[in-house]
Each structure stands twice: as C-alpha cells, then as structure tokens.
Structure 1
Amino acid sequence: MTDDSDSPPRPLREELPRIRERFADASRLLCCLDFDGTLAPIVDQPDDAVPLREAEAALVTLANEPKVSTAIVSGRALADVRDRIDGPSVYAGNHGLELAHNGSVEVHPDARTRAIQIERVCAVLETVLDPVPNARIENKRLTGTVHFRTVPPAARPVVRRLTRAVVERFGGDDLELSTGKRILEIEPAIRWGKGDAVEVLESAQPSDSVTIYVGDDVTDESAFRAIEPDGIGVLVGDAEPSAASCRVQSPEAVATFLEWLGTTGVELLGEADGNAAPIDPDRFDRPFAADRSEPEGE
C-alpha cells in the first residue's frame, strides 16, 4: 500500500477549530483506532504489547457514549487483538479481512481460500530465516508477518530478499508482500485493506456522522484516504507525508485525544437523527462469508 500524499499532516491542536466545526454538524461519531503504535507503544517483541491504561480507560468511556461507535482496526489477528483490549463494539483484524460484530465473525472469502498458501509460506520462512538472529515469523491465518525490528541492521536486507523470494515462489499471483515499520506483511493479493473495512463500518452509520481514524503505519494510509476530507485522519508519530490531515506525537497523545473526544467532543455533537444500524455484509464491495458464531462470554 503506497501513500500518494506529498505533505505531512498538521499538528492536531492546529486542526481543533475544524474538528469542532465538523462535530457540530454531525449527529454521531465513528471512532476507529489502530492498536500497535496507537493505543499501545511499539515494543521489540509484539507479544509484549499492551495498551496504555489511560488510552484503554478513555476508550471504554467513549464506547459507552450513546452517540459513539468504536472500532479497533488492526493488522493483528482478530483473536489476538481482542485479547489485548476491551471496550469497542467492533473489531477488524488482519487489516480488515476479518470482522467481529454483533456476536459473529465474518471473513473475506478470497482470504479464506488462500489461508493454506499463507501457512505454507510461513512454514518455509521459519526454515529459511532460522539462521537470522531475532527474525520472527507470525502466521495470522489470513496473513503473515515477518518481524525484524531487533534483527541486526546488516542482516535486514537479507530478511527482505529471502522473504520476497519465498513469497514469489510459493505464493505466485495469489499472495503479495507489503512493508510496515520493521515488518513485512504477507497478504492475499486482493483489493482489500483497512480503508475498505472502515468504509463498511461507515455504511452502518447515519449520513450525518463524522468518522475519525487514528493510526501510525503505512497500512493505515488506506483508511486515511477512505475518510478524508469529510472525516478526520490522525497520524501518530513524526511529521511524515500522509493522507491524514492531523498528527499527534505518541500513544500518550492519542490517550489525551480520546479523553477529549469522550468529554468535549461528545458534547459538541448535534442532535442524533438516528442510531447506528447493524453492519450488513451485503454492502461489502466483495461480500464476506459468515465464519462462525462467537460463544457467549468470549
């Protein structure tokens, strides 16, 4: 996924007048959030990632507001990210390829059929990259991730070259490789990403709703493009070119913004013309198939 923008977003504080104005014209808020680097600081070992307590508390408060719908949209597997944070009514895992809402999970049908190839590629990479110190392969069923944040710098080009070669040989035209922050993502070669998932969530909102998306990585750019300029995209991190219109520096700043949304932001929203509707899988550009029902209490 590439970014077509050539300018960095403005600091969030400079955009607050526009945000206030946008909220005053809206009846509801759809707040979509990435997890790693957004609610949880980036760590060397992905298994150690936990959300900031302030961010999680603010998210729970926001999720309890009648005029607000909340969603986590993560590159992590759905089960993984759901275990790491509570509160939102919707979770989208694997960059939007699986979606949990209203007690059920839906999976993109094309991604489902290519899960065997993802498994094969991840298994081969386990062997091929085994000699590389600290290289880690994560099989997320629908996608795979090669983590090389703690790989010695001199060995990182080797990880990229070997990963690309394995994906090309065993994935063919069915799989593709994309980059993130010290990761390589192995994905089904289909036209679907976080932006598509966010558009599905938007389709269940009243027409006068406002959407916010907060994320920190290359994979979040499709979501920024999907909601801007009517919505509000917030990039977390340095002032780099992005399709987002706003920027905050860190997950700590995200927590502060969520606290603002749960107080001042909610008060600015106009009178609601209606509630959010159930998400209709038939409104997906490429319809999902029901995967399984979720057991109660999970």
Structure 2
Amino acid sequence: SDDMRNVLKRIAKRYPLAIISGRSLDDVRDMVNVDGIYYAGNHGFEITNDVKLVNPDAEKIKPVINEICRKMQKRLIHIKGSIVENKGLTASVHYRMVSNDDFIELEKIFDEVAASYVKDRKIRITKGKKVFEIRPNIEWDKGKAVEFVIDAIGKKGTPVYIGDDRTDEDAFTILKDKGITVLVSEKIKETNAEYYLRNVDEVKSFLEGLL
C-alpha cells in the first residue's frame, strides 16, 4: 500500500534497508518501488542495490527451470486455479485457488514432473504458503542473502528481519542470537523467529516505532 511504502521510505532514510523475496527481482522492485535500498529476488539468487548481482550457478539452471515450467503448464492446464510462475532462476506452482479435491491430482502431477530433476540433483523443492517452490539445487537461500547484505552494508547495528513464509525460516536461523527476528502470522506456529506480529497493520506500527 502507499502507506506502507511511505513508512519504508522513511525507514530507508534512517537505516540500511533490504527487501528479500521469493518473487523475481523485477517484480519485487516494481511492487515496493523504494529507491536506494537492497532488493533480493528469487530467494536471494538475484541481489541489487546499484548493481545487479546474479548467482552464476543459478544462471546455468535457467534452461532447466524453463523446461520444468513448460511441462508443468502442459500437465496442469486442466486444473482450475493452478498457476505456474516462471521467475527465471526459480519457479513456483501456486494452488491457493485450487479445490481440495483437485489438489490431490495437482500434487501427484507436480511430484511426477519434478521427480527426475530432483533425482539428478538439478533442483530442490520447498513448500511455502499454498505454493510449491522450485529452486536450483545450490546452497543458497534467504538466510545466505541476509548474510550477503549484512556484509555489504558493513555489519552496522542490530539487524531486524520480518517474514511471513516458511522460506523465511532460513533467515530466522541465520540471525538467531544475532538480531531481532519476527514472524508475521495470525496463528502461533513452530518457528525459528523470536517474536510474532499478527498482520501487516502490526508490521506497519512496529516499523513506525523505529522512527
């Protein structure tokens, strides 16, 4: 929202700020639209401030990601509500709008398509909120992206990381005893984060408290 964007702009004037997302770099940058901050897209495989950095090993897997997406789209075309998102270096299969009955078939098809690539250690699969994530089988995640950004800005102050997805757990783990970690969730759940906020409104209030 515009209100949240304005808060982020004010935060960025006082503190180093990074947005780390599973979305493609271009997508997250267009969505947030705040200048002068770090953006990490595709779970950290792409990072930019003034210069865009792409993990070279992940770049080599792009043809494999494209191939998997084509197969997924062909096999899932009849399942209403399914979305195959090709993000270049990674991909996602969303099933938020898929019925419970159709999900059983979707999961079966997903496993069938992904199986050989997982077996060949070309990709790894993670699960988010109503989504299957397809990533290069490389030791890199949001936690590694956090470490990269902290090193880039010079390890100043205490890092604060706020996230709402399973893939944020890697960052929570990296920052254990080193920073402030906050899970955004309406429900109490098992997490490596130290604190909870219930929703975006509470996140906004928390950030305003830092100003």
TM-score normalised by the chain length of structure 2: 0.95
Residue in structure 1 matched with residue 174 of structure 2 by the alignment = 226
Q: Residue 202 of structure 1 aligns with which residue?
A: 150
- After superposition, what is the alpha-carbon deviation per residue over 1:100-154, rounded to whole angstroms, capped at 9, x for unaligned? 112x111111110000000000000001001111111000000000010000111
132, 137, 144: which one aligns with 1:189: 137
Q: Which of 186, 195, 203 pairs up with 1:246?
A: 195
Q: Please give the alpha-carbon distance, in whole angstroms, between the structure 2 residues aligned to 1:230 and 1:141.
A: 32
For 1:120 and 1:208, the matched residues in 2 are separated by 42
Aligned to 1:146: 93
Q: 2:159 aligns with which of 211, 233, 249?
A: 211
Q: SS in structure 2 opposite 1:247?
A: strand
Partners of 2:141 and 2:24 in 1: CA distance: 14
**1:85 maps onto 2:26 in alignment:** no
SS at match of 1:186: strand
Q: Does 1:132 align with 2:62?
A: no
The answer for the alignment partner of 2:127 in structure 1 is 179
Pick the structure with greater CA Rg: 1
- 8 Å contact kept, 1:96–1:196: yes
1:150 aligned partner, one-letter code: M
The count of corresponding residues between Structure 1 and Structure 2 is: 208
Instruction: State the one-letter code of the partner of 2:210.
Output: L
How far off its partner does 1:167 sit?
A: 1.2
| Deviation digits for residues 78-119 of structure 1 (CA, Å, limit 9, x no counterpart) | 0011111122511000000000112x1111111100000000
CA distance in 1, matches of 2:79, 2:155: 51
Unpaired segments ≥5 residues, structure 1: 1-51, 263-298
What is the rounded CA distance, in whole Å, between the counterparts of 1:206 and 1:130 in structure 2? 47
Distance 2:132 2:160 in 1: 26
Cα distance in 2 for residues equivalent to 1:144 and 1:188 = 10
Distance, in Å, in 2 between the alignment partners of 1:89 and 1:208 is 15
Give the partner amino acid of 2:32. I
Q: Which has the higher contact order (CA 8 A, sep 6+)?
A: 1
CA positional deviation for 1:53: 2.7
Measure, in 1, the Cα distance between the counterparts of 2:207 and 2:4.
7
Q: Which residue number corresponds to residue 5 of structure 2? A: 56
Residue identity in the other structure for 1:56:
R
TM-score by length of 1: 0.68
Gaps of 5+ in 2: none
